[in-house]
């Protein structure tokens, strides 16, 4: 069984969803704590939220395995992305700093090497190949790295996160006209707060693959989960049975904004093309 799903589209846009997976390896599943088995830090329901991608002709790469097996948005050398609190290539704590595993039941070195070889590398090979396919066809390609996160995570940021968090590695991962177009769409609506290059500037995927000089333009969206799902409150007791339901009414309001952003990316062309 594949560690990812790849749907090839007909536009210059590829959407990556590296944290939408929930599959676990036997060793990870056996070692997780009660709280860890809730998979709290998953980018929940993103395939449902972005169910309009096929209609737009957009390529989609979606992870099957949980980020607790291996984090696809971290580099192989596990180099930290941010100066502050974060989690690693093989997380042992969740975003709140709570242990993911029962003491002494963390994945072995062999289990981690398996995940790197069979989950991380195939995902990035598919990502590289699809980006190259689209660049050959169109002369350029746009990568949209789709994420979501709880609106409040005290360990990672103060207060409540803006609803829409665009990241372009401080302008280094895409042509400025691309980020200008996305910002104009965000500015034209009044329902959601937004920021560019705030707490989330883009993870490894955005920073590694976004090379405007090579006609690969990348942007990350970290979407507040408060906009589309029932997210856990900070005081909630998280257990394995805890669920995080999709809220159709909320999702129905934010989805048109997402569609406008993605449609704009399919229509955008670099100035030199």
Give the residue with greater pLDDT, 86 vs 167. 167
Contact residues for 103 (Cβ-Cβ < 8 A; gap 6+): none
pTM: 0.96
pLDDT at residue 89 in the model:
96
Place of tokens 């590289």: 128
Q: Give the pLDDT confidence score for residue 215 in this predicted structure.
A: 98
Tell me: pLDDT of 153 over 80. yes
- The 8-class DSSP code of residue 169 comes to T
User: Once rounded to an integer, what is the mean pLDDT over residues 247-259?
Assistant: 98
| pLDDT of residue 22 exceeding 90 | yes
Could you report the per-residue pLDDT of 38-48, keeping only the tens digit for each?
A: 999 999 999 99
Per the prediction, the chain carries an average pLDDT of 95
DSSP at 172 = T
User: What are the distances in angstroms from CA 188 to CA 115, 225, 268?
Assistant: 43, 21, 18
For 96-130, how does the pLDDT look when each residue is reduced to its tens digit (9 = 90+)? 999 999 999 999 999 999 999 999 999 999 999 99
pLDDT tier at 273, thresholds 50, 70, 90:
low
Residue 43 to residues 57, 150, 152, 188, 203, Cα–Cα distance (Å): 23, 9, 14, 26, 14
What domains can you pick out in the chain, each with its CATH number? 4-267 (3.40.630.40)
Q: Is the pLDDT of residue 86 over 80?
A: no
- pLDDT at residue 82, rounded to an integer: 63
Structure confidence by residue, pLDDT tens digits, 213-233: 999 999 999 999 999 999 988
Per-residue pLDDT of 155-189, as tens digits, reads: 999 999 999 999 999 999 999 999 999 999 999 99
50-73: buried (b, 16+ CB within 10 Å) or exposed (e) per residue?
beebeebebbbbbbbbbbbbbbbb
- Round to whole Å and give the CA distance between 84 and 107: 25
pLDDT tens readout for residues 132-143 = 999 999 999 999
Q: Tell me the per-residue pLDDT of 122-134, one tens digit each, with 9 for 90 and over.
A: 999 999 999 999 9
Residue 152 CB: number of other CB atoms within 10 A? 18
User: What's the CA gap between 269 and 273, in Å, rounded?
Assistant: 6
């Amino acid at each position: 069984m594949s560690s990812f799903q790849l749907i090839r589209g007909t536009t210059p846009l590829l959407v990556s969803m590296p944290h939408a997976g929930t599959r676990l390896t036997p060793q990870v599943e056996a070692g997780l704590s009660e709280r860890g088995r809730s998979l709290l830090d998953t980018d929940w329901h993103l395939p449902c939220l972005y169910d309009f991608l096929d209609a737009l002709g957009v390529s989609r790469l979606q992870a099957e395995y949980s980020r607790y097996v291996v984090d696809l948005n971290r580099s192989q050398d596990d180099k930290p992305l941010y100066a502050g609190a974060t989690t690693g290539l093989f997380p042992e704590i969740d975003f709140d700093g709570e242990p993911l595993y029962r003491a002494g039941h963390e994945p072995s070195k062999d289990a981690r090497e398996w995940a790197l070889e069979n989950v991380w590398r195939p995902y990035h090979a598919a990502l590289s190949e699809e980006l190259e396919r689209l660049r050959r066809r169109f002369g350029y390609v746009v990568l949209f790295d789709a994420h979501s996160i709880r609106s409040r995570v005290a360990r990672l940021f103060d207060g409540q996160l803006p609803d829409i968090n665009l990241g372009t590695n401080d302008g280094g991962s895409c042509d400025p006209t691309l980020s200008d177009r996305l910002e104009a769409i965000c500015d034209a609506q009044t329902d959601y707060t937004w920021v560019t290059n705030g707490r989330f500037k883009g993870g490894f995927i955005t920073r590694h693959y976004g090379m405007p000089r090579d006609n690969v333009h990348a942007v990350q969206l970290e979407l507040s989960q408060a906009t589309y799902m029932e997210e856990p409150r900070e005081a909630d007791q998280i257990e394995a049975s805890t669920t995080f339901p999709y809220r159709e009414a909320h999702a129905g309001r934010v989805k048109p904004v997402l569609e406008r952003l993605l449609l704009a990316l399919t229509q955008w062309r670099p100035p030199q093309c």
